[in-house]
Structure 1
Amino acid sequence: MPHPEITLIGSDLSMFGRLRHWLRSVLGLDRAVGFTVLARFWASTAGLVTVALIARFLSPSEQGFYYTFGSLVAVQIIFELGFSFVILQLASHERARLSISQDLDVSGDAIAHARLASVIQKSVRWYSVASLLMVATVLPIGFYFFMTHQPAGQMVHWRLPWCLDAVMAVLNFQLDPLLSFLEGCGYVSQVARLRFRQAVTGSVLAWLALVLGHGLFAPAMMLCGTGSMSLIWLLGKRKLLLGLLQYPAGANRIQWNSEVWPFQWRIAVSWFCGYFIFWLFNPVLFAYRGPVEAGRMGMSLSVASAIQNISVAWVSTKSAPFGTFIAHKEYRQLDRVFAHAFSQSSAVALLGALTAWLGCLYLNFEHIHFGQRLLDPASMAMLMISMIINVMVFAQAYYLRAHKQEVFLVNSVVGAISVTLCTLIFGRYYGARGIVASCCVGNILGLLWATQKFQKYRRIWHAA
């Protein structure tokens, strides 16, 4: 007769096993997605705390500076040139023919080994140069912008916070390609776990800055926490990284100009356009309508971005597996995994958008002061619709780019031009509501165009 305690333990383990199976099969929560969602869930929850602290400890004008800092730092997209995504895809393709031991020794196909080494060697060279260019560009741009558009009679001490924010952004910019490379090498769940630690550390440091009365230092402290966690984790992988950096790639190195650049330049243009699509709102509103309205837009965008980042996790964490499926021509498995991830990602975006909009509606209906720091409910609704569309298009882009192709180039250019024009024209004369309304219409048309291209190229590539 079995001991009752053993039976109980076995039952608990069985329940735990069923729960794990349900999380994997129904929600698609493997370790990589789980840690990524956990990190983004923390970032979203912490983001709400940050939003509350900003409303409590920053003036409406300082709130505008806070969010515009982030928009200007995002200029790093121009220097990034899509390298991080390309690095991940190249590493995952070469890693498919290699083995990496627990001791971080690489074995397997010699050509793949050389090509993998050349990926990180090229990346480190480029990011070292780009970091210098970035700090020499972003700092003076910020000084000029804020000195030119600071409202008369409103003393906001932004100079030192801006300097630290830009420097910390450059540090993280230098470390990001190493994380992308290791993620492509199969350390997806470990990188996802690191992202969670980064989110927690950065948030806590930012909160301390806000509570202690140094609110505009919060963005720099957030980046400081992120960078310090990256450095600590990368030290544990130094044997692998240094070994590949010193490995003689020779004639087997990846020929960047012929193999990668024809694909990468399209990614670079798309990401460059992404700045104008996603980051132009705050600076334009800051310049035309003042820091208060820019602050409302910034806080509303931070809510939308938090939901978007969580939603995209179901697809973004599949980038490396997508590359492996394609390398082995396992297209049926690729489509099955993508379809499952896409539906889960879209459902999470829809649920999050509805929750955020109802919250905004409640704050305004009850005349709660905090609601005045956000956009009005009508504008928030249009912003949430745009966010859901972005999640769907991002998912399609991850799938197509895993084939080392960039077919959304023209879409990105057209989108950037239209969003820039809408932002400049409608933002100047109609403010935030004009921007979100015009961009929402453009996003709906963009989704139809992107879906048509997605279906077309998927058929062509998989029939070959």
Structure 2
Amino acid sequence: MSSVSLRLPFISRDLALVLSLRLWQAGAGLLTTILAVHFLSPETQGWYYSFISVAALYTLFDLGLSMVLVQVSAHASTGLHWKPDGSVEGEATSYFHALVHSALRWYALTALVFAVVIVPGGILFFGSKSSTTIHWVAPWLVLCGLTAAGLLITPFLSILEGAGQISRVYALRLSLAVCGSIACWATLAGGAGLWATVMVPAATLLIPLVWLVRYRRGLLQIASRSAGHRFNWRHEVWPQQWRLGINLLCGYLLTQINIPILFHTQGAVIAGQLGLSLAIVNTLGLVAQSWITRRVPLMARAAATRDWPTLDRMFKRDFTMSSVIFVVMAFGVLAMDLLFADTKYAHRVLPFWQLAGLLVFVFSNQLIGGLAAHLRSFRREPFMSTLATTAILTLPLIVWAAAHYSSAGLVAVLAAVNLFLNLPIAFFIWYRCNRTWRHDS
């Protein structure tokens, strides 16, 4: 693992796989959008995206641990080497074993709590809008079960990614994305409606599980037995985890929760328009973030060794590339919206100016996320208090705007808060912390 180079090739194998995953997600998202419009009624489309949005609460139960584990594993795996059976050897082996075992224990508890909360919570929420034409209970139960079980796979992929196995992890994620998308399309085309929502979670659970049993059985054995070395979770992980968890909660309150809010206040049709629009613009963000995502372990190692020139080169070039690519794709989406303005597809997404406002909101999130990824190389999370404050202040305004001005008011609030409040504050914090932490480290 220590052989991972800090050289900066423009298109490395890691970037090629990360980009392949993001481009597949973009193309698959577009085809899913087309199939959803073709095979689902406007009402069912609202249920479809509301299901996905509520199930996405699993990210809050994760508390940002999947991202923290990449950072911690990048530090913990220095000097270790993989053995043929999927285990590791080296000076810090016992520490690494303790990390893997503790992470699995944490995720097992997280999966249990998620299932206990989300199943009855979803039944109460969707039951209040129950329709005789929508059969939703069985798909909801299966979706929750598969999502909860999939949480048990998460720590292995994060630890492997942080340990330098980026190509293998993203090849695996690409495989499950392809299989999950194809299964989703077949389910939509077969007229199974809401059952399409369970296909990606099913692939997310089963494909990595088979791969781990086949190629990383040693890692599974490490996770299943108690480690001799005691891992200090409170000191090593928790300080960054709870701060990042609050950031993710704030992000959810400013993005995904808006679909259930519109579902409740304006009905399934408008909620479906927002859900489809968010799926499109978030896909642009995923593709653009590829340039930064593939650098996370390397930036963490550069910060750990105080190699500031390498850290700066990686971040500045990839941050700029990520931003430019998002802007180009955003103009492409708006052009397509105008080109197909008279088709039923355009009527299933938000109107043009609302879609433009949503792109502004997501682009500002993209910039904030890039700055946060850079600062997390220091294993710190500086944006927590700011995002928490703005989310608390903004959420009541979002609910009011959605109730009185529908999706137009909601999008206006989101774009204005991010562009004129969150983004300037984030740049100020990034500039200050970047200088102070280097001096103190």
TM-score by length of structure 2 reads 0.94
Q: Does 1:199 align with 2:177?
A: yes
Offset at residue 103 of structure 1 (A):
4.8
Q: Does 1:423 align with 2:398?
A: yes
Per-residue CA deviation, residues 85-113 of structure 1 (Å, 9 max, x unaligned), is: 1211111101113222455342222xx22
Classify 1:337/1:284 alpha carbon distance in 2 versus 1 (closer, same or farther; 3 Å).
Answer: same
Which residue number in structure 1 is paired with residue 246 of structure 2?
269
Which residue number in structure 1 is paired with residue 360 of structure 2?
385
Which residue number in structure 2 is paired with residue 435 of structure 1?
410
Q: Is the contact made by 1:28 and 1:341 (CA closer than 8 Å) also made in structure 2?
A: no
| Correspondence for 1:140 among 120, 126, 137 | 120
Classify 1:68/1:332 alpha carbon distance in 2 versus 1 (closer, same or farther; 3 Å).
Answer: same
Offset at residue 26 of structure 1 (A):
9.8
**Within 2, Cα distance between the matches of 1:113 and 1:95?**
8
The 3-state SS of whatever aligns with 2:237 is: helix
Which residue number in structure 2 is paired with residue 450 of structure 1?
426
Q: Is the contact made by 1:363 and 1:370 (CA closer than 8 Å) also made in structure 2?
A: yes
Q: Does 1:150 align with 2:150?
A: no
Structure 1, unmatched stretches of 5+, are: 1-24
**Within 2, Cα distance between the matches of 1:414 and 1:321?**
31
Which residue number in structure 1 is paired with residue 217 of structure 2?
239
**Within 2, Cα distance between the matches of 1:183 and 1:169?**
21
The 3-state SS of whatever aligns with 1:447 is: helix
Classify 1:27/1:385 alpha carbon distance in 2 versus 1 (closer, same or farther; 3 Å).
Answer: farther
Offset at residue 41 of structure 1 (A):
0.7
Offset at residue 249 of structure 1 (A):
4.2
Deviates more, 1:294-303 or 1:239-248: 239-248
**Within 1, Cα distance between the matches of 2:437 and 2:275?**
40
**Within 2, Cα distance between the matches of 1:248 and 1:147?**
43
Offset at residue 352 of structure 1 (A):
1.2
Which residue number in structure 1 is paired with residue 302 of structure 2?
325
The 3-state SS of whatever aligns with 2:81 is: strand
Q: Is the contact made by 1:36 and 1:195 (CA closer than 8 Å) also made in structure 2?
A: no
Q: Does 1:358 align with 2:335?
A: yes
| Correspondence for 1:461 among 432, 437, 441 | 437
Offset at residue 27 of structure 1 (A):
8.5
For residue 420 of structure 1, what is the amino acid of its counterpart?
L
Offset at residue 317 of structure 1 (A):
1.6
Offset at residue 379 of structure 1 (A):
0.2
Q: Does 1:216 align with 2:194?
A: yes
Which residue number in structure 1 is paired with residue 66 of structure 2?
84
Structure 1 runs (4+) greater than 4 angstroms displaced: 246-249
The 3-state SS of whatever aligns with 1:28 is: coil
**Within 2, Cα distance between the matches of 1:422 and 1:375?**
20
| Correspondence for 2:28 among 30, 46, 71 | 46
**Within 2, Cα distance between the matches of 1:419 and 1:38?**
36
Q: Is the contact made by 1:201 and 1:226 (CA closer than 8 Å) also made in structure 2?
A: no
Offset at residue 60 of structure 1 (A):
0.4
**Within 1, Cα distance between the matches of 2:232 and 2:437?**
23
Q: Does 1:341 align with 2:308?
A: no
Q: Does 1:59 align with 2:20?
A: no
Q: Is the contact made by 2:87 and 2:222 (CA closer than 8 Å) also made in structure 1?
A: no
For residue 211 of structure 1, what is the amino acid of its counterpart?
A
The 3-state SS of whatever aligns with 1:285 is: helix
Number of equivalenced pairs: 434
> Larger Cα Rg: Structure 1 or Structure 2?
1
Which residue number in structure 2 is paired with residue 21 of structure 1?
none
Deviates more, 1:233-242 or 1:172-181: 233-242
Q: Does 1:394 align with 2:374?
A: no
Q: Does 1:31 align with 2:13?
A: yes
**Within 2, Cα distance between the matches of 1:274 and 1:382?**
17
| Correspondence for 1:230 among 208, 233, 245 | 208
Q: What does 1:148-187 align with in structure 2 at a 5 Å threshold?
A: 148-150=128-130, 155-187=133-165
Offset at residue 376 of structure 1 (A):
0.2
Classify 1:132/1:249 alpha carbon distance in 2 versus 1 (closer, same or farther; 3 Å).
Answer: closer
For residue 334 of structure 2, what is the amino acid of its counterpart?
W
Classify 1:417/1:236 alpha carbon distance in 2 versus 1 (closer, same or farther; 3 Å).
Answer: same
Per-residue CA deviation, residues 255-313 of structure 1 (Å, 9 max, x unaligned), is: 12233322222112212222212211110000000000000000000001111111111
**Within 2, Cα distance between the matches of 1:159 and 1:244?**
38
For residue 330 of structure 1, what is the amino acid of its counterpart?
D
